[in-house]
A and B are shown apart, each in its own frame.
Chain A
């Protein structure tokens, strides 16, 4: 078994000891899609027009829900470092013959699989039950974005989880991130009608890059120029966060 494979297996065994946790990761975004999506759709009372195309609010929300899936899975996986610290295994892991990068990639691999399953469920629910017009031909691109973004968020939160000694401090960081990154992005609403300062903040937010890319791959909307920039920015964000997380592991002692 390779180093990454062994860490993957370890995380799989650990996650399977708490199926409720897995259920939470997979089904909370779905309930968001159904409850939040339908509620707002009824409140708005009409279709939304984005770049000349009409969408129901639920259809517009599907890419945002995929963003939520990646975010939740990444956050919960990074939180696992606190379990490792509590059980004392954290420092022992650093003595194993695997690189810090292999450890991080192995840890996220199983959870990326969860994010892909969660995203697939959201897409299927959106398309088959809620009538969202999904671009099935771009499904591989959608899943690639899900994988890249889950890894990026995981590396970012891992850097915090490794550096912070207290779990409550980590929970504060993730709760604040949850609110700020989701609401200062294109996850719930189109940015076009929002104030300029809001749009500037939103376009600096990796969640916006991710959701815009997903909106293109799922619904076919978005400006090519902006999307290319956002794709490059998301890749750079993931790479930078990996470097930060590896650095945090190297300085963990």
Chain B
């Protein structure tokens, strides 16, 4: 399947006062059509800069990026015709009504009047905006504004959807609905690139993930591939007959990355040699019997934290 998004050795440097900032430092990745690709990273990792380059708001210092085969630097208009973008910042036409926000967005993307009106009615229902269609947006809450912004992308059928932290500020139910809708769009062949700091969201939604930090790619691949990259990180769930302060002190002495005690259940995340740890846990179980024992691979959050620690 051809790639919908292709990014090759993209660098973006700029000056902020007297400092030279390396916002992106040689990032490369490809997203095949119909896939959901996640860009993960802390603030300042370069995710939004990458979105700005792909959506032609800014140009790369060097390297190439294309959307549906169109070079974003040399063919910006053709590239923009292939995508719909939700930027990190809440973006709504505050003086206009909710209805006008949806319609004008569609008109600006070349959607015909009747088609736009039909889609608006359906989306208003889906995003619980029907009662608000005649309300001026500036009177609405931030969460509703975000809902309007995300609803706008479904007014179009552009093959690529780019979302920069799109679900920020949404209530959990609406977030779930948006995620389901995005999965359905991907099944229908649309390609989705999303940036997020919410790791569970990326874990649930994305088929491939790139972890960015300080403008560089730290790791990329499917969740399974990322787990393999981080084989020394693992999660241990233990059930003891009973817990005590002394037990917790002994567990803390094992230097886990994370330790949570809930009643007689203990959850720990470790980074290191599994065999050595199991020996030390066996020592503990002689004094405080372990009723249940489970070792699992890391979650995306744990991979992310482990990778951050390795590089910083």
Contact = CB atoms under 8 A, between A and B. Distances in A.
Interface of A: 1, 3, 5-7, 9-10, 13-14, 17-18, 83, 86-89, 91-99, 252-253
A95 B104 contact: no
Given A6-B107, A7-B108, A94-B56, A88 B92 contact: yes
A87 B87 contact: no
Interface residues on B, range: 20 to 34
14 contacts: A3-B108, A6-B104, A7-B108, A10-B107, A13-B100, A14-B95, A87-B92, A94-B56, A94-B57, A96-B109, A97-B81, A98-B80, A98-B108, A99-B77
Contacts of A98: 77, 80, 108
B223 interface: no
A22 B52 CA distance: 35
B188 to A, nearest CB: 21
B212 interface: no
Secondary structure dominating the interface of B: loop
Contact of A97 (B95, B100, B109, B113): B109
B87 A9 contact: no
A91 B96 CA distance: 18
A80 B80 CA distance: 23
A9 B109 contact: no
Contacts of B104: 6, 9-10, 13
Interface in B75-115: 77, 80-81, 83, 85, 87, 89-96, 100, 104, 107-110, 112-113
B156 to A, nearest CB: 10
B58 to A, nearest CB: 4
A13 B89 CA distance: 23
Contact of A10 (B58, B83, B108, B110): B108
A97 B79 CA distance: 8
B220 to A, nearest CB: 25
B66 interface: no
B77 A92 contact: no
Nearest to A250: B59
Nearest to A10: B104
B55 to A, nearest CB: 4
A18 B95 contact: yes
A4 to B, nearest CB: 11
A18 B77 CA distance: 32
Interface in B159-191: none
Contacts of B94: 83, 86-87
Contacts of B58: 253
Nearest to A7: B108
Contact of B108 (A6, A14, A18, A253): A6
B108 A95 contact: no
Contacts of A7: 108
Contacts of B92: 87-89
Contact of A83 (B52, B95, B109, B136): B95
